[in-house]
Structure 1
Amino acid sequence: MSDALIQIRNLSKIYKLYQTPMDRVKEVISPTKKKYHKKFFALDNVSFEVKRGETVGIIGKNGSGKSTLLKMVAGVLTPSSGSIDVEGKLSALLELGAGFNGDLSGMENIYLNGTLLGYSREYVEKSIPSILDFADIGDFIHQPVKTYSSGMFVRLAFAIAININPEILIVDEALSVGDMRFQQKCYRKIREIKKTGTVLFVSHDTGVLASFCDRIIWLDGGRIFKEGRPDKILDEYQAFMSYDVKEMEAVTVYKSSDIDSEEVEEDMGQSRPQAFGNGDGFFETVRLINQETEKKSSIVAGGDPIYIDFTLKIIRHIDMPILGFTLKDPLGNTVIVTNTHFEKIQLEPLVANQRYHYRFALEFPYLRSGKYSLDIALANGTYQAHEQIQWINDVLIIVVRDPRPYQEGRGYLVPTEITLEKVN
């Protein structure tokens, strides 16, 4: 006897796409049975199973079929072909507010949801104390849910889904709405369900997926692109989602015209770097260069030897120049700060109306896969008292792909070598 609670075989979901509403009518009345639609495969021949006690995360870019898959497992959508076998009590938390009647109170919606999930009124009544305690929304439970905030919505919805003791729990990104404490409360409950049941959920939070999932299924274009353990899939997925060829062509080379020009290449979808300073000089170009190939770099990994290659145009004489760099993560948190003062590099004065070309050589630090931004700055004076000549926020966007296996709690490492050289 199989210990799988969910078995999916050759599952497909096909939608008919019509150019106009009239094409739908034409197809119905056509005497020759002419087709006026195109087929769109939201899911295309997907097969897998989920065992008891297993937590499976579903990842993929928007439109890859994640939500469609969960809705079919939950019974909200019917397959176009293939089969789904589900063994055990199932509870699903899909779209925010799904299954709720906005005009009914929270209490009335508890009974409504219980009925939709197939539970008797008596069973729901026994679960109400634990639902109310978990949701913790006070007297709002007696108010119409249309008056609820999104946070209150997800509190009540998850409290219902989790406290009817399901053997299978399905969650589609809903927990991203709740506050941090409530999320932790939910994850503790999910851990309890994992001991005897099965959890299937969609999330864009790779940290959560790495912590909770035994297996990751990566969907792309309605098909299973890859499947395996989190440490085999997630880093590759992050690099895949971060990397776009056109975008990288736009952000691995900075030119001063990126700020000054009135022309914007809209198809690149890039915000402009922001600069400030006193105008005594400015960065003309900034590039990321691979030391070994001497070519512009698009993706880097920890340990890669790189140059931050840049040219300066000096307007007025700078007696005591300081050059600095700041690397930031996607949330804007500083990962690494360094400058010529820290590195004990003494720069010669910069002469007015001259152009200077420098290369800042370093071994790139080991960072988690993802997208990072680089700030660059030129100042005049001492580290304790200086005037900003030019500081450019997010001058380059760097995609990091860490080739090492995923390690829980892995931290940042500083560069092992930094040198600055003037290029003639």
Structure 2
Amino acid sequence: MENFAIVASKVTKKYKLYDKPIDRLKDSLSFSKKESYSREFYALNDINFDIKKGESVGIIGKNGSGKSTLLKIITGVLTPTSGYIKVDGKISAILELGAGFNPDYTGLQNIFLSGTIMGYSKEQMESKIPEIIEFADIGEFINQPVKNYSSGMYVRLAFSVAISVDPDILIVDEALSVGDIRFQQKCLRKIEDMKKNKTILFVSHDLLQLKKFCDRLIWINEGHLQDSGDPEDISKKYQAFMAGSTLDNYVEDELNDIQTKSTEIDPIDKSLQMFGDNKAKILGISMFDDKKNKIFQTEMGERVNISINVSYKEVLQNPIIGFSVKDRIGNIVTQTNTFAIKQSMTDTFANKNYIYNFEFIVPPLKRGNYSISPAVASGTQLEHTQHCWVHDALIIKVDDKQDHDLEGFMVLDNVSFDAIQK
């Protein structure tokens, strides 16, 4: 345990479910073990993992998978039915919105309440009050009952208290999805700073955020530990699962057949992973300059064409074709698709190939390597069925003539400046 902040061994949480209220009474009065009016539900079933001190770990899973139950057991809010969790260090957690606050207390009173729960004296908490109030930035509402707070104010106060008590382990459960973007960024900067010497457990549906902040992802599915490992790898598997398919690799003979059908567009590397329901398959992708030359390197301001070769196994009505551009650490820096640009699409024919061309001016991206992930879907931007998605299908390099050396994803282009002395 010396090197571990959290160790979970065979953790199981079981509940009894009743179809009717009367069944609960019957079950409590029954003296027969053979006769039961309930059915068992496993919120968690035989969960095993460990988290090293100083490690940042993300927990993912669809709603109802058991993530929140696991966090409540780690923090001691719930006890497991069997198995155990060992924790080495002081925990500060932001679980359900407003959890740990008395709704009738003012914000200031709840600060002292939280400090008492964490084992701090009134004098110790008084020394932290200015820092908490400054970070929360809720003004005079600090003296109002928290039941009158908006969800954003709840989170501001909860996060400010959580980080002020100098925890060894910080647990954040989806709370940062609430509130304005400025405060979210403020919290993320604080979490980034805390990563240097704290253990952080981060629950979120934002895979990009998790890949940026976490050393490892733990995937919980229907109460079981589905997988654990590198954030990039686990997030790809999870995306495939949520799309309703498993990760697949391209078949060798299909790739050979593709090469005869499309001589200009490079076929997809057979080692690349894809997911979707296989009603469509992306066969190849290439980038061309304005003279139709195939290129792998370009510059901002240049006109290029991304060509995607797609084969359909059945008729699809008004398909959506598009691609995402990611930087070297997996952040999506830009994306487009036919739905977003309001491009009317004709229905496809089964067992036919289509070449889709996207022509555009390279945006002012910073110098570096980028990956392009093409996709085919049906539906809308918000609600769609994924037919085929290929991770990092094309790697390109973007150069910068002006040799900018600035932070950020993109370079501000055509900037004018003026100075007026008064």
- Tell me which interval the TM-score lies in, with the shorter structure as reference length: 0.5 to 0.7
Q: Is the CA contact 2:173–2:203 (under 8 Å) kept in the aligned structure 1?
A: yes
Match status 1:306 vs 2:279: no
Q: TM-score, length-normalised on structure 2?
A: 0.66
CA distance in 2, matches of 1:406, 1:135: 44
Q: Which residue of structure 1 lines up, in the alignment, with residue 170 of structure 2?
A: 169
CA distance in 2, matches of 1:61, 1:367: 26
CA distance in 2, matches of 1:176, 1:356: 39
Q: Which residue of structure 1 lines up, in the alignment, with residue 236 of structure 2?
A: 235
How far apart are 1:360 and its partner, in Å? Answer: 4.1
CA distance in 1, matches of 2:384, 2:104: 50
Bigger radius of gyration: 1
Deviations 1:324-378 (A, max 9, x none): 987488x9x971469xxx9xxxxxxxxxxxx998974248997558885578xxx
Q: Which residue of structure 2 lines up, in the alignment, with residue 350 of structure 1?
A: none
Q: Which residue of structure 2 lines up, in the alignment, with residue 361 of structure 1?
A: 355
1:34-113 counterparts in 2 under 5 A? Answer: 34-113=35-114
CA distance in 2, matches of 1:122, 1:370: 58
Say if 1:48 and 1:364 are closer, same or farther in 2 by CA, change over 3 A.
farther
CA distance in 1, matches of 2:221, 2:394: 22
How far apart are 1:84 and its partner, in Å? Answer: 1.1
Q: Which residue of structure 2 lines up, in the alignment, with residue 15 of structure 1?
A: 15
Q: Is the CA contact 2:282–2:311 (under 8 Å) kept in the aligned structure 1?
A: no
How far apart are 1:32 and its partner, in Å? Answer: 2.3
How far apart are 1:233 and its partner, in Å? Answer: 0.8
Deviations 1:246-299 (A, max 9, x none): xxxxxxxxxxxxxxxxxxxxxxxxxxxxxxxxxxxxxxxxxxxxx99xx97246
CA distance in 1, matches of 2:11, 2:336: 44
The letter of the residue matching 2:389 is: R
CA distance in 1, matches of 2:348, 2:216: 52
How far apart are 1:183 and its partner, in Å? Answer: 1.0
1:148-227 counterparts in 2 under 5 A? Answer: 148-227=149-228
Say if 1:233 and 1:370 are closer, same or farther in 2 by CA, change over 3 A.
farther
How far apart are 1:394 and its partner, in Å? Answer: 9.5
Match status 1:401 vs 2:402: no
- More off after superposition, 111-120 vs 88-97: 111-120
How far apart are 1:108 and its partner, in Å? Answer: 0.8
Q: Which residue of structure 1 lines up, in the alignment, with residue 401 of structure 2?
A: none
How far apart are 1:401 and its partner, in Å? Answer: 2.8
Q: TM-score, length-normalised on structure 1?
A: 0.65
Where structure 2 has 5 or more consecutive residues not aligned to the other structure, the ranges are 247-266, 269-276, 286-307, 325-331, 360-370, 399-408, 410-422
Q: Which residue of structure 1 lines up, in the alignment, with residue 365 of structure 2?
A: none
Q: Is the CA contact 2:171–2:200 (under 8 Å) kept in the aligned structure 1?
A: yes
The letter of the residue matching 2:3 is: D
Deviations 1:70-119 (A, max 9, x none): 11101111111111111111100000011112221111111112222333
CA distance in 2, matches of 1:371, 1:66: 31
**DSSP-derived class of the 2:108 partner:** helix
Say if 1:88 and 1:370 are closer, same or farther in 2 by CA, change over 3 A.
farther
Q: Which residue of structure 1 lines up, in the alignment, with residue 28 of structure 2?
A: 28
How far apart are 1:39 and its partner, in Å? Answer: 1.1
Deviations 1:19-74 (A, max 9, x none): 22222222222232322211111000101111111011111111111000011101
**DSSP-derived class of the 2:195 partner:** helix
**DSSP-derived class of the 1:401 partner:** strand
User: Aligned pairs, how many?
Assistant: 318
How far apart are 1:174 and its partner, in Å? Answer: 0.4
1:317-336 counterparts in 2 under 5 A? Answer: 327=322, 335-336=336-337
CA distance in 2, matches of 1:43, 1:324: 39
1:220-299 counterparts in 2 under 5 A? Answer: 220-243=221-244, 297-298=279-280
Deviations 1:149-186 (A, max 9, x none): 11111001100011111110011100000211111111
CA distance in 2, matches of 1:405, 1:399: 16
The letter of the residue matching 1:147 is: N
How far apart are 1:309 and its partner, in Å? Answer: 10
Q: Is the CA contact 2:104–2:145 (under 8 Å) kept in the aligned structure 1?
A: yes
CA distance in 1, matches of 2:243, 2:386: 9
**DSSP-derived class of the 2:205 partner:** coil
Say if 1:406 and 1:9 are closer, same or farther in 2 by CA, change over 3 A.
farther
CA distance in 1, matches of 2:244, 2:222: 18
Q: Is the CA contact 1:92–1:170 (under 8 Å) kept in the aligned structure 2?
A: yes
Q: CA RMSD in A?
A: 4.0
Q: Is the CA contact 1:328–1:335 (under 8 Å) kept in the aligned structure 2?
A: yes
CA distance in 2, matches of 1:16, 1:205: 32
How far apart are 1:14 and its partner, in Å? Answer: 0.4
CA distance in 2, matches of 1:99, 1:395: 35
**DSSP-derived class of the 1:112 partner:** helix
Say if 1:106 and 1:325 are closer, same or farther in 2 by CA, change over 3 A.
closer
Say if 1:394 and 1:122 are closer, same or farther in 2 by CA, change over 3 A.
closer
CA distance in 2, matches of 1:370, 1:186: 33
Say if 1:27 and 1:394 are closer, same or farther in 2 by CA, change over 3 A.
closer
**Percent same amino acid among aligned pairs?**
46
**DSSP-derived class of the 2:11 partner:** strand
